[in-house]
Amino acid sequence: MKTKTLFVFFFTITLIAAAFAVAVEENKDAAKEENKGAAKIEIPGGYKGKVPFNHEMHQTQLKDCNACHDLFPKAPGAIDDLKAKKTLKKKQVMNKLCIKCHKAEKKAGNKTGPTTCSKCHVK
Ligand code: HEC
Ligand code: HEC
Ligand code: HEC
């Protein structure tokens, strides 16, 4: 009798553990399904020339997508679309996002990105 109770007990524990493992795996899959976009992007930069942008590196460094995507949606060409609609001003992303952060990080003594024109814009 005692052995049977013990068996039922451990059997139940095993079932719960298995269900938990499945739930954790499903969560991982859900995270993987988020569209992270291209690893490398060329942002149009007007007459100054395009701006090669390491999207993946910034995602890993900053962790928070909304650090940038509060300003424009997660869609290809989003910045140009909003500039065309005048919802975003020209150079707004550049000044209020890219350069602002790079300058702040530099001031704090951290590794950071460029703050001079030709280090971002290429022709
Ligand atoms: C440092 C800024 C920054 C961060 C942080 C960032 N993105 Fe982006 N993302 C961009 C830029 C810039 C574009 C290009 C927009 C354009 O083409 O006008 C972009 C475009 C995209 C696109 C559109 C597809 C493409 O390849 O152009 C998707 C999807 C996307 N991002 C998802 C994400 C997700 C998910 C995260 C967080 C894990 C994230 N982004 C974090 C700057 C960022
Ligand atoms: C950290 C990278 C970075 C640096 C440094 C930088 N830019 Fe930009 N620039 C961008 C990005 C990204 C865009 C596109 C988004 C926007 O317009 O905000 C852009 C857009 C532009 C545009 C096009 C605006 C339009 O819509 O027609 C011009 C012109 C420009 N930059 C000039 C400059 C000049 C001049 C400097 C130096 C004083 C400079 N940029 C420094 C990243 C940078
Ligand atoms: C919130 C902070 C933050 C924002 C916003 C941000 N960056 Fe950066 N960027 C960084 C940091 C931190 C690094 C240095 C990472 C490293 O080298 O470890 C970096 C590095 C870079 C580099 C040089 C390294 C490389 O391989 O590309 C470029 C170019 C760059 N950023 C462009 C941009 C542009 C263009 C934008 C705007 C669309 C932008 N960044 C927005 C924090 C930021």
Answer yes or no: do 44 and 16 share one domain.
no
Question: By alpha-carbon position, which residue is closest to atom 35 of ligand 2?
Answer: 117
> Which domain does 84 fall in, by range?
40-120
Q: How many domains does the chain have?
A: 2
Answer yes or no: do 29 and 54 share one domain.
no
For residue 14, what pLDDT is reported? 67
Answer yes or no: do 29 and 45 share one domain.
no
For residue 59, what pLDDT is reported? 97
Answer yes or no: do 108 and 48 share one domain.
yes
Ligand 1 atom closest to Cα of residue 61:
5
Answer yes or no: do 50 and 28 share one domain.
no
Torsion 94-99-102-104 (CA) sign: negative
Question: Average pLDDT for consecutive 10-residue bins of the chain (123 residues)?
Answer: 68 65 60 84 98 98 96 97 97 98 97 97 95
Pocket, ligand 1, Cβ cutoff 6 A: 34-38, 41, 43, 53, 55, 58-59, 62, 65, 67-69, 74-80
Question: By alpha-carbon position, which residue is closest to atom 18 of ligand 3?
Answer: 111
Ligand 3 close to Cβ of residue 54 (< 6 A)? yes
Q: What is the CATH number of the domain that holds 89?
A: 3.90.10.10
For residue 34, what pLDDT is reported? 83
Answer yes or no: do 47 and 30 share one domain.
no
Residues 100, 9: Cα–Cα separation, whole Å: 59
